[in-house]
Structures are given as structure tokens and as C-alpha cells.
Structure 1
Amino acid sequence: MRVIVSKCSPLLVRPSTEQSTPADHIKVSSFDKPLAFSSFSSFHVFDRAIHEPAETIKRALSRALDHFRLIAGRVVVGDDDGDLCIACTGEGVEFVAATASCALVDVKLFDPPFAALLKDLAVEYPEASCRVADPLLLMQVTEFSCGAFVLGVTWNHVVADGTGIALLLRAVGELARGFDQPSVPPVTCADQLLPDLPPLAAAIEQTIVGQLKPKDYAYLDITVPMSAIDRIKAELGNELGAPCTVFEAVTAVMWQCRSRVIMPDDDPDNPAPLVFAADARRAVGAAEGYYSNCVTTQVIAPPPTIREVVEGDIKDVVKLIRSSKEQIPATFAGEGEEGVPLLPCVEDTLFGYSALFVTSWRNLGFEATDFGGGTPARVMCHPGPESLPACVACLPRRGKGGANVLSRFLKEEHGGAFLAELAKFT
């Protein structure tokens, strides 16, 4: 069926209270810089109606921006040194109210194919990357004929990571439900000085954002059953010293299944790098309400060969992931500099078809967003970056009985074989 999404003209939502002092210029941190001017979109599907969702969210957003002033500002580039700052100008964020010509169930947003429709459910920046004068956040609320609605959020990554946007949405929801102020006071890079992002992580992120060209990989909507996750966790028992996490089990399954499918296309003794994003808040002691970027990029080094990932026991694959995670605190303590010699070969080693980039949305906080009708039935995204094989794992999804993964990490001809490998874990 043809779905028509009708959009009102965009408007700027500003903080509800005016600033009485000149705009602060906040210098962004080393975590923010590599991600500047790259955009990302999330989609939050609410299957329970609330009264006038667009108007309700718009009013609450204005009040939330009183507390999240950085997000209502604009990027400023220094004339002399080219340094990046965010000016807390209060100019606001772009907001669009929209309606869809059908019920939510009619478009099967809970199941593929949905990728084409997602473009209509969010506001996008007019160019491939964000411009200096653009708002730092774009928001669209699309109400369906049944009363359900989808919130599409697109942001300039310089101002916040996924946890930061989840904190904003949590605050908007609380204010929409009658709270006087957010339950978690927001904190920015202006309020708390963090250690520098490790050089290797910064180099990888800059390469991902600025130097690679998009590739056309298949869009897959995958569920790793909880029975498979529980079985892996049970097999490991106490071998890791602490229980295997859902992220570790899911990533191990994705990595091994994918490696089995692509191995015929590559020398089996070529490296199969795994790169994953990790929240560094605990490692650097960031405050609970820190909403500026605080994500590091971790590489399993040295990378195993494709053959080792394919033929290894799934427990051994999990152990590789856990070992790499455990190295994160040391990199912020000035240790682990053995990773620095990898810098000259980042592109050659980490961005071929045999590599895999994983980011997890488990426990970012998106699952707690509530504007008055309950938490989202599903949270989705355009998995990215599209310039290398990537997946977004563990997205919140109600009642599915497993871990949802959205991916662009396989050529079209490998999709069926991958799903067959995944079925072996069920």
C-alpha cells in the first residue's frame, strides 16, 4: 500500500526561558571532535496514543531545552585555530509535526521491509553532513490514523552521543508527564573535564566519519533469540570472572556467522578485525547526567584471522570480546600504548569487507522514554556508518524474545547464507 506522510512546515523550538547573559561558547572535548558534523537518526515507535502527541512533545521539548542549552545552540569554528565550540545561543532545534495516511499496523513498522518509509519519518539535514549554521537537533513527530506515533530524532553528533540523546528524551517525557524538572540533572563537557580520547580511537572515528565512501550493503533486521543468548551464557559459566553480557553473546554470534559466510571470498588467514563502540562514562568517571559525547572505539588487537573466528568455539569468540572490553580503563590511564603503532595502517587493516563494526544500544536509556502513553514498542535506526560493514545491536523492542540487530554488513548475495548460519544458534 502507498503511505502518504504529510508534513507541516518546520519551525524552531527554543528554550522556554530567555537567557539574560551573552551566549557561552563551550569548547568541545576530544570525544566530540572526531564526530563533528556527522549526523545520526533514531526512530522511536509508540503504539499507544497520547493527546496531541506533536503539540505535547513540542511544549515539553521547549522546557527541556532550558536544561539542555548546548543542544539549542550552534557550532562555531574558530577563525584563527579552527577549534570547535558550541555557542549556547538558544536559537533552538528544528521541529516538524506530521501525519501518516494509515494505521501503524498497516505499514508493518515492527517488521521489514521498512527502510524506505523511515526516510519519511524524520527530518534530515539538507546535505550529506551537518553545516555550521544548522540546528544541532531535528525532530519529527508523525501521528498515524490509529493514534500511534513515531518520533524521529536526527542530530549533529558533535553535541551528544546516544546516551546523551536518550537523556534528553527522558527529560522531555518527564516534563510532558508533569515533572517540574528532569530527574537526572544534565551535565556537559563545560561542566566536567574528561581525559583525552585515546589516539587510536580518535583516528578510527575520524576515518569513519570523513574518509570512507558509502557502500551498498543489504539492510537486515535480525533477532538473536534469547534462548541462544542464555545458552552461550550458561556454557561460559564463571570462565570470564563475571557473567557473559547480552552484548558479548550477540556480538560473538554476529561476528562468527558473518565470518563463516564471507570466508570463501577471502584468504582464510586474512585478519577479521572487530571494532566496537563502548560507553566510556564509567572508565572516565563521567557524571550520571553527562550528555556530551563519551564513547570510545575499541579494536580487538591483534585481530584474529577469519579462520580463527569461523572455526573457534563460540566461547573463545566471546572471550576475545571480553578481553578487549577489559582493556578500556587502561587506555584512559595512559597504558595500552601498544595500540598506537596501528595508526598508520588503520584504513588498510580495519575497513575491508572482512572487518565488522558493532555498536550497542542496550541500556542507553531509549527504552525508558515515556511521553504519557508508555515506553516505546520499538527503537530503530539506519544502521551505519554505511561506509563499512556495520550493525547496531541490542535495540529496544518489546515482546520479541531476543536481541534485535539492524545491520548493513553484508553484500546482497550473502544475506541468505548468513540467516542460515544464524538459524543454527536457535
Structure 2
Amino acid sequence: MTFVVTKSSPSVLVRPSEPTPAATIRPTSTDMTRLGMSFTSFHVFERGVDEPAETIRRALSRALVHYYPFAGRLAGSGDDVVFSCTGEGVVFVRATANCTLEDVNFLGAPVVMSLADLAVRYGGPCRAASDPLMMMQVTEFACGGFVVAATWNHGVADACGLAQFLRAVGELARGLHSPSVVPVRYDESLPDIPQLATILLKRLAAGVKFEHVDFAYCDVIIPWSFVNRVKAEFGSRHAGDRPCSVFEAVTAAMWQCRTRAINGHGGGALAPLVFAANVRKHVGAKDGYYGNCIMSQVVVATADAVANGDVVDLVKLIKDAKERIPVLLSTKTLGLDDSGGGELVAALCGYGALYASSWAGLGLDGVDFGGGRPARVIPYSEVKMLPSISPGAPCSMMDGHGVNVVASCVTDEHLEGFRAQLARL
């Protein structure tokens, strides 16, 4: 059977249902490092609601009254760019699929339906004044289930902020008069948060060019038996430390398996790990703040140490890096050479690095348009320039088996070896 997604034509602009302030919002330094980067969050709902596309479109319009920056556009250029709250709207597409969600494995492995068919895409960087800050597609399946794909300019919100917005849309779809969380987009009290991207962009200016890489798409499950074993071993060897988290165990496993797959038995070259950290609690962000409030923490190790070391030791490296976050925030540094040179910064721009961004605990699995929470949530990036993984992507149907990880971290050349390493966990 050929699976076909048919999109409504043309797309429509969903505007706020009531007048909104014609304001301009200056991006923070953290927003600026992510401006023009687009991401998509796919939410797979097994249980249907009455006319899902129309129900969500109406709720979206009402939510934009409270989250009106999403309905705006970029204005200005360079360091003078701002979010212009024009109320032009969010691009919205309704689509239908000629199959059930079960037919396409709920978008899990093996992949039989392209995620690209289920989303509206920018087609590249999204920094033009005409580019919407958010686009949404609702695809209705023959079984009554549906998929909501929210694609957004990362400059206007991080994943935690997106989750807050989508939960608000869900609340209004379920009949609430207003969102339960009062949104805050501008917080003048926020300090500057040190950003790894600032250092990498200096490398770009020095001649390093970032381009799209066709990384293989991987949707894997790290078994609970492995996670629990690592947590127990860490606890017995580091009794005085905080317990090993699921994120740390899973990320350490992915880091090691990938390094083995691309480097064989390792070597002296650096194989750094970079993970994103939500620092709202550290910097005292206001409740309801949905702009970017994240920093990237670097874990430095050689390929040999990662490939041949004990996975518990890798967990310790990750945990120690997390513990350093408050100090780095207070000193407004990342503890790296910010001149743009050096072996480490060069490694961070290459295939040997691995970038991890947890999708657990952000609230993305709490989105409910009336039929219950999603069966799974899938992160996706249209433009892929550096190897990346998303540990903890919500997947209720596999909760009893293990932790879902969505990855774009190896090229086809190393895919078989990567899968073989994962199979040994």
C-alpha cells in the first residue's frame, strides 16, 4: 500500500481572534544565537477529537491573543533585528492521510512515512521578514487519530516555551476560558547567558562553513534493563553524588555507541559532547517566560576515552558538567577559549562532536486537544549541520520497554555500525 498525505490548498494564515498590541520585542542574546533555526515538534494523537483541524485552528487563533509574538514577523537586520508583533498570523495547513496510524507504526521504526509530508517547512533558514515565526499542520488519519506538527523559528521560543504555548492551545480547545499559565515573552531581569554558538560563529567568520549534512534518521529505544544497571552501578561507586538520571545514562550510552561506530577503537582526537540545559531556575526567569532560556554545556573527552571507557565514567563526566552550570552562569563564561581558535573549538564544529537536547520533562507530552495526551512526540530539524540526539522524546507506547531517542548523528556510512553498538546494550 502506498501511503499518501494530501494537503489542503492553499494554506491559511491564522491570526489572533482579538486585537493585540502592535509592539516590538528585542531578542535576548540567547534568542539571537538561535534566530533563523527552525525545528518541528510532531505530536501523534491516537485518540481523535471532533474535527481536529478545525478545533485546533480555532483554539490557535484564541491562543495567539495571549501569545501574540508568534503571530508576528522579524523586522530589521543584523544586531538591530526585532520581533515585530504585526498580527499577520501563523501559517496553518490541514491534511489527510489515506492510512491509519498503526499502518505507519505511529511514525516509529521502521519508518514508512516521511515526516516531511506531515509538516510545513521553511525550505532553509527562516530569517526573512516575510517568514512566519510559526507554522502548523494538522494531519487527520483514517483511524480518527491525528498528528500535529508545529514548526517554529527557534529565536522566538525554546522547546520549553513551545510546550507551554501548545498546552495553552490545548486548554482553549478543551473549553477553558484562558490559558492556565500567564505567558511572559520579555523579562528585563534576565542576565546574559553565555552561549557556545557565539564561539562557533566566530569560527564561522574565520572560514569554517556550516552546511547541511544528510545524517541518517534513527528512532531507537534504550532498554530499561541497561538504564537501571547503569544507575545502580553509578550509585554503588559514587554514593556521595546525586543519583544518576535517566538522561545521563541514556546520553552516555549514545555518546559511547556513536563514538565506537565512527572511530572504531577510538583515538586521540577529541570527541566532545554538548548538551542543552534549561537554566530558568538558575537565572530566576519569571513564571511563564517562554523565550529562549538555555545554555550549552560542553563535556570534553578523547575518542579513545569515550569508546573504550566505562559508561559509568561517562555518566560522571556529564554529571560534573551539569554541576558546573551555576558557576559558569555567575562568571558568564563557558570555560572555553572564546578567541575562536583551538583544538576543542575546531572539534565542536566537526563530525566528531555530539549535541544532545533532552525532550523529556519539557511538558511537550502534556499537550491535550480534547482526546488525551499524545502517544508520542518526535523532534525534527529540517536543516542538520551537526550530529545531534534527542534523548527522552515522549513515547508512552514504549514506556514499558525503554527510553526513546530520536537521533540524526551518523551518516549512512556508519549507520550499520551504530545500530550494532546499540544492539549490544
TM-score if structure 1 supplies the norm length? 0.92
Question: Which residue number in structure 1 is paired with residue 248 of structure 2?
Answer: 248
Q: Is the 8 A contact 1:383 1:407 kept in 2?
A: no
Q: Structure 2 matches for 1:157-172, cutoff 5 A?
A: 157-172=154-169
Q: Is the 8 A contact 2:187 2:285 kept in 1?
A: no
Q: Secondary structure at the match of 2:350?
A: coil
Mind listing any 5+ residue stretches in structure 1 that lack a counterpart? Answer: none
Letter in 2 for 1:412: D
- The reply to whether residue 103 of structure 1 matches residue 104 of structure 2 is no
The match for 1:152 among 146, 149, 152 is 149
Question: Which residue number in structure 2 is paired with residue 77 of structure 1?
Answer: 76
Compute the displacement of 1:385 (Å).
Answer: 5.6
Compute the displacement of 1:410 (Å).
Answer: 1.5
Q: Structure 2 matches for 1:87-102, cutoff 5 A?
A: 87-102=84-99
Moved more, 126-135 or 208-217: 208-217
Q: Secondary structure at the match of 1:395?
A: coil
Compute the displacement of 1:285 (Å).
Answer: 1.3
Compute the displacement of 1:82 (Å).
Answer: 4.1
Q: Which whole-Å deviations, capped at 9, do the CAs of 1:337-389 have from their partners, x for residues lacking one?
A: 63244632465221222211111101111110000100000111225762122
Moved more, 130-139 or 384-393: 384-393
Q: Is the 8 A contact 1:136 1:159 kept in 2?
A: yes
Letter in 1 for 2:137: Q
Question: Which residue number in structure 2 is paired with residue 382 of structure 1?
Answer: 380
Mind listing any 5+ residue stretches in structure 2 that lack a counterpart? Answer: none
The match for 2:371 among 365, 370, 373 is 373
d(CA) in 2 for partners of 1:206, 1:94: 34
Q: Is the 8 A contact 2:70 2:156 kept in 1?
A: yes
Compute the displacement of 1:116 (Å).
Answer: 5.2
Question: Which residue number in structure 2 is paired with residue 15 of structure 1?
Answer: 16
Q: Tell me the C-alpha RMSD between the 2 structures.
A: 2.2
Q: Structure 2 matches for 1:28-177, cutoff 5 A?
A: 28-77=27-76, 82-114=79-111, 117-177=114-174
Letter in 2 for 1:176: A
Q: Is the 8 A contact 2:134 2:151 kept in 1?
A: yes
Q: Structure 2 matches for 1:326-365, cutoff 5 A?
A: 326-334=323-331, 336=333, 338-341=335-338, 343-345=340-342, 348-365=346-363
Q: Structure 2 matches for 1:399-418, cutoff 5 A?
A: 399-400=397-398, 401-418=401-418
Q: Structure 2 matches for 1:1-12, cutoff 5 A?
A: 1-8=1-8, 9-12=10-13
Compute the displacement of 1:261 (Å).
Answer: 2.0
d(CA) in 2 for partners of 1:39, 1:383: 7
Compute the displacement of 1:416 (Å).
Answer: 2.4
Letter in 2 for 1:386: K
d(CA) in 2 for partners of 1:253, 1:329: 26
User: Could you say if the C-alpha distance between residues 411 and 240 of structure 1 is closer, same or farther in structure 2, counting changes exceeding 3 Å?
Assistant: farther
Letter in 1 for 2:55: T
d(CA) in 2 for partners of 1:115, 1:338: 44
The percent identity for this pair of structures is 46
Question: Which residue number in structure 1 is paired with residue 192 of structure 2?
Answer: 196
Q: Is the 8 A contact 2:44 2:146 kept in 1?
A: yes
Compute the displacement of 1:152 (Å).
Answer: 0.8
Letter in 2 for 1:214: H
d(CA) in 2 for partners of 1:351, 1:115: 32
Q: Is the 8 A contact 2:195 2:296 kept in 1?
A: no
User: Could you say if the C-alpha distance between residues 328 and 342 of structure 1 is closer, same or farther in structure 2, counting changes exceeding 3 Å?
Assistant: farther
Q: Is the 8 A contact 2:138 2:147 kept in 1?
A: yes
Letter in 2 for 1:319: K
User: Could you say if the C-alpha distance between residues 131 and 115 of structure 1 is closer, same or farther in structure 2, counting changes exceeding 3 Å?
Assistant: farther
d(CA) in 1 for partners of 2:353, 2:170: 38
Letter in 1 for 2:351: Y
Compute the displacement of 1:12 (Å).
Answer: 0.9
The match for 2:213 among 202, 205, 215 is 215
d(CA) in 1 for partners of 2:122, 2:305: 42
User: Could you say if the C-alpha distance between residues 15 and 115 of structure 1 is closer, same or farther in structure 2, counting changes exceeding 3 Å?
Assistant: farther
Q: Is the 8 A contact 2:200 2:349 kept in 1?
A: no
Q: Is the 8 A contact 2:196 2:334 kept in 1?
A: no
d(CA) in 1 for partners of 2:416, 2:61: 46
Q: Secondary structure at the match of 2:55?
A: helix
Moved more, 145-154 or 111-120: 111-120
d(CA) in 2 for partners of 1:206, 1:240: 40
d(CA) in 1 for partners of 2:7, 2:334: 51
d(CA) in 1 for partners of 2:204, 2:319: 24
User: Could you say if the C-alpha distance between residues 170 and 199 of structure 1 is closer, same or farther in structure 2, counting changes exceeding 3 Å?
Assistant: closer
Q: Is the 8 A contact 2:30 2:195 kept in 1?
A: no
Q: Secondary structure at the match of 1:230?
A: helix
Moved more, 35-44 or 336-345: 336-345
